[in-house]
Amino acid sequence: MTDSLTEAVYGVMHNAASRAIAPRYQSLNAADIVEKASDDLVTIADKESEVILAEGLARILPEAAIVGEEAAHADPAILDRLSSDLCWIIDPLDGTNNFAAGKPPFGVLIALSQGGETIGGWIYDVLSGRFCHARLGEGAYVNGERITARTTGHTPPIAAVSVLFADPNRRAALLSGITPHYTMVDIPRCAAEQYPRLALGVNDLSVFERTLAWDHAAGVLFLNEAGGKAAREDGSAYRVDDGRRGLIAAANPALWDDLAKRMAAL
């Protein structure tokens, strides 16, 4: 750990994972899983984890607003808090569909923003215990060791493209414009896994259509602090209070530039 804030956040995440998530892995009953939207599940573990996380984070920084995925689903007005001077952003169980199916990957994502800009991000893999974190301007770390993003070295580069939430025309255009130039692999359906893959030499590139703050704030900061690049398709910085769709993430800026040019031409 590099600082007291990260130590405190890690403790809260570990507590939520060990109490609400791990005991229910591969042990859910049908009544524990609800479809809150098409192909978008929530489980009892998501709900209980969010309560534990929100309570713990409120003790760390009582002055910070809190935006949790499940709370925002119940009351969309909570999203207005994303522009607050300080705001905790919680994904209590990222990769819920995988978790509900009894398979990895899944994890917990926490971000801290200031006026819409992410200043801290923490990513916890419940099964492996891998802990990734970043603070703005202070680098990216995995299990306490500072890392530098690296490519796969594969030719053509390896791309994981998430088009689940794209409309059919955009989905077709994205795939036709990208597929011929890259080695395509399946997405993990878990941002808590995808961003580490981009920094650790597993994947080179990703494209995301839906860019909700709880899914992306922590990972974008982590990848950028590692020396990769994650930004909007026009090159502008990702902000948690920006509701636009579309995000490109890459293991280095050159790969990002190449893909952005291809997408701009679609």
CA atoms of 10 and 28, how far apart (whole Å): 25
| Residue 146 token pair | 């500072």
Cβ-contact 226, 141 below 8 angstroms:
no
pLDDT for 173 equals 84
Q: Is residue 93 annotated as involved in ligand binding?
A: yes
Predicted local distance difference test score (pLDDT) of residue 1: 37
What does the alpha-carbon distance between residue 109 and residue 89 come to, in Å, rounded to a whole number?
8
At residue 158, the pLDDT reads 98
User: Parallel, antiparallel, or unpaired: how do β-strands 183-184 and 158-162 relate?
Assistant: parallel
Q: What pLDDT is recorded for position 174?
A: 83
Q: Where are the domains of the chain?
A: 4-147, 158-264
Does the annotation place 125 within a ligand binding site?
no
Establish whether 94 is an annotated binding residue: yes
233 labeled binding residue: no
Enter the CATH code of domain 158-264. Answer: 3.40.190.80
Please check if 215 is assigned to a binding site.
yes
- How far apart (Å, rounded) are the C-alpha atoms in residues 252 and 150? 7
Q: Alpha-carbon distance 134 to 114, whole Å? A: 15
Strand-strand pairing, 40-43 and 131-135 = unpaired
**Element spanning 147, H or E:** strand 145-147
The DSSP 8-state label assigned to residue 207 in this structure reads: E
Are domains 4-147 and 158-264 of this chain identical in fold? no
pTM above 0.85, yes or no: yes
Question: What ranges in 95-238 are assigned the alpha helix state H?
Answer: 96-100, 168-178, 191-199, 213-225
Q: What is the pLDDT of residue 225?
A: 98
The pLDDT profile of the chain, 266 residues, written as one tens digit per residue, is 358 999 999 999 999 999 999 999 999 999 999 998 877 899 999 999 999 999 999 999 999 999 999 999 999 999 999 999 999 999 999 999 999 999 999 999 999 999 999 999 999 999 999 999 999 999 999 999 999 999 999 999 999 998 777 888 888 888 888 999 999 999 999 999 999 999 999 999 999 999 999 999 999 999 999 999 999 999 999 999 999 999 999 999 999 999 999 999 88
What class has domain 4-147? Answer: alpha beta
